[in-house]
Amino acid sequence: MPPTAAELLDLAIRATAAYRREDLGERLAVARRRLLDPEVRVLVVGEFKQGKSLLVNSLVDAPVCPVDDDLATAVPTLVRYAPEPSVVLVGDDEHQRRQVPIDQLAQHVSEAGNPGNRERLRYAEVGFPAPCCPAASAWSTRREWAASTRPTAPAPWPCCPPPTP
């Protein structure tokens, strides 16, 4: 049986160690983690005020990202499935995590409440029981957002039915 992609990466990682190329080994380790991650991310990239947040909200059928026709988003928002709604602010260091009430999200991720990201947040993580896709998660940033679903997620999403033939 031919080796799997993960086995080939393991072999390459061992080779980088043997040839003292730890720099390449780290990149291969990242590739291996991505390969084995069951989540799929879909990125949507756009300039300011192009409707990214409204699109994310429509997909998860909930107002999880602040929509505004004037002030821009200051901090990326990660939206992922959780049994109960929750908001966690993540600081410069991934371990700096602070839970806040969900109705305070907008003031931390918008230029109005957090101008120039003076709170130095890396991102805000929103947990939400998305009714249209129980295993969905989505990224919303100033310039991009990504939705990801695990392979076991039910499909299609009721809010995005497939085109009829």
Which parts of this chain interact with ligand GTP (CB under 6 A)?
46, 48-54, 67-69, 72-73, 142
User: Is 73 one of the binding residues for Mg ion (CB under 5 A)?
Assistant: yes
Output 25 or 137, the one with its CB closest to Mg ion: 137
Site string for Mg ion, 28-57 (x = CB under 5 A): ------------------------xx----
Q: Is-contact 150 107, C-beta < 8 A?
A: no
Work out how close the CB of 85 gets to ligand GTP at its nearest, in angstroms, rounded to a whole number: 20
- CB-nearer residue toward ligand GTP: 6 or 54: 54
The answer to whether 74 touches 111, Cβ cutoff 8 Å, is: yes
The option from ligand GTP, Mg ion, none interacting with 48 (CB < 5 to 8 A, set by class) reads: ligand GTP
Report how far residue 51's alpha carbon sits from residue 42's, in angstroms, rounded to the nearest whole number: 16
Q: Hunting for tokens 């069951």 — which residue is that?
A: 38
Tell me whether residue 25 or residue 66 sits nearer to ligand GTP (CB atom). Answer: 66
Between the alpha carbon of residue 2 and those of residues 6, 10, 13, 145, the distances in Å are 11, 14, 18, 37
By beta carbon distance, the residue nearest ligand GTP is 51
Report, in Å, the least distance between residue 140 CB and Mg ion.
6
- Note whether 149 binds Mg ion by CB under 5 A: no
Q: Could you tell me which residues are beta bridge partners of residue 138?
A: 79, 147
Give the count of beta carbons closer than 10 Å to the beta carbon of residue 48.
9
73 versus 137: smaller Cβ distance to ligand GTP: 73
3-state helix, strand, coil in the chain (%, to 5): 30, 25, 45
